[in-house]
Amino acid sequence: MISRKKLIAGNWKMNKTSADAATLVGDLVSAIGKQNDVDVVVCPPFTSLESAGKVLEGSTVKLGAQNMHPEASGAFTGEISAPMLRALFATYVILGHSERRSYFAETDAFINKKVHAALKNQLRPILCVGETLAERESGSTLKVVQTQTELGLEGVSKEQAASLVIAYEPVWAIGTGKVATTEQAQEVHAFIRDLLTKLYTAPVAQKVRILYGGSMKPANAPELLAQKDIDGGLIGGASLEARSFVELVNAAIAVK
């Protein structure tokens, strides 16, 4: 069995000025900036990418963005493109987060365009999928996850697929303190891996990291991260303080 390197990614959402970002990244770099046992990514807001990037230079902590527009440039007021992110040395980008889907009406087709633009620009997409509470209660979790994954990855080749990261984030667990049980999470992660096997073959599916996201905290992380198909976490609230984020990285190191 291929052992996948665990990945802990911090999704800061709309938090931290560029000065605050530099301070937080500085603390992270001192604590975990040299370790290479797990991959660590921070995703600050666009306005903090440059200051965060400067502080993490020379460390093993990597830089990611929280969103981008699929076009490279043009008349898209307020938007940011993949080449702009690359110019700031970002190497990851979160795409299709449920907050983008629900507050900004992003569709699977639009997210798919972003996935292609990211891959074309050597940005690794962290494609987020996940069901709402109503969808879980009506028994359609796996169907929703399947549709979002298939449509989000439409046209992505087998060669490209190996660099993907998928984040399973049940919408009802995001920022609510309600974490999915390890069984609930592992079931969906295994389902996504099976789906990737069908789409891209088993060797490719074995390489793709599938992160769990939704109220992951130092207290619940060890059990989640010990699951066979849970390859890391996409962390919101607990990524905003160095102490809890470092604890999460250490939890991933402990089960690597």
Site for ligand PGA in 212-241 (CB under 6 A): 213-216, 234-238
The number of C-alpha atoms within 13 Å of 107 and in the hemisphere containing its C-beta is 2
Quote the least distance from Cβ 159 to ligand PGA, whole Å.
Answer: 28
Q: Is 97 a catalytic residue?
A: yes
**Which of 105, 74, 68, 106 is CA-nearest to residue 87?**
68
Catalytic-labelled residue, pool 69, 97, 99, 131: 97
Q: How far apart are CA 96 and CA 171, in angstroms?
A: 12
Q: Are 239 and 213 in contact (CB under 8 A)?
A: no
Q: Residue 69 region, left (φ>0) first, then alpha (ψ -120 to 50), else beta?
A: beta
Structure tokens at 205: 């599916």
- What gap in Å lies between CA 90 and CA 123, rounded to an integer? 7
Using CB under 6 A as the binding rule, whether residue 67 contacts ligand PGA is answered as no
Q: Which stretch binds ligand PGA (CB under 6 A): 50-58, 85-93, 113-121, 211-219?
A: 211-219
Site string for ligand PGA, 170-209 (x = CB under 6 A): ----xx----------------------------------
Give helix 108-120 / helix 141-152 axis angle, nearest 10°: 40
Piece of 51-59, 65-73, 169-177, 244-252 that binds ligand PGA (CB under 6 A):
169-177
Query: Min. distance of Cβ 72 from ligand PGA in angstroms?
Result: 26
By beta carbon distance, the residue nearest ligand PGA is 236
Provide the annotated active-site residues.
97, 169
- In the complex, the residues that contact ligand PGA under the rule CB under 6 A are 11, 169, 174-175, 213-216, 234-238
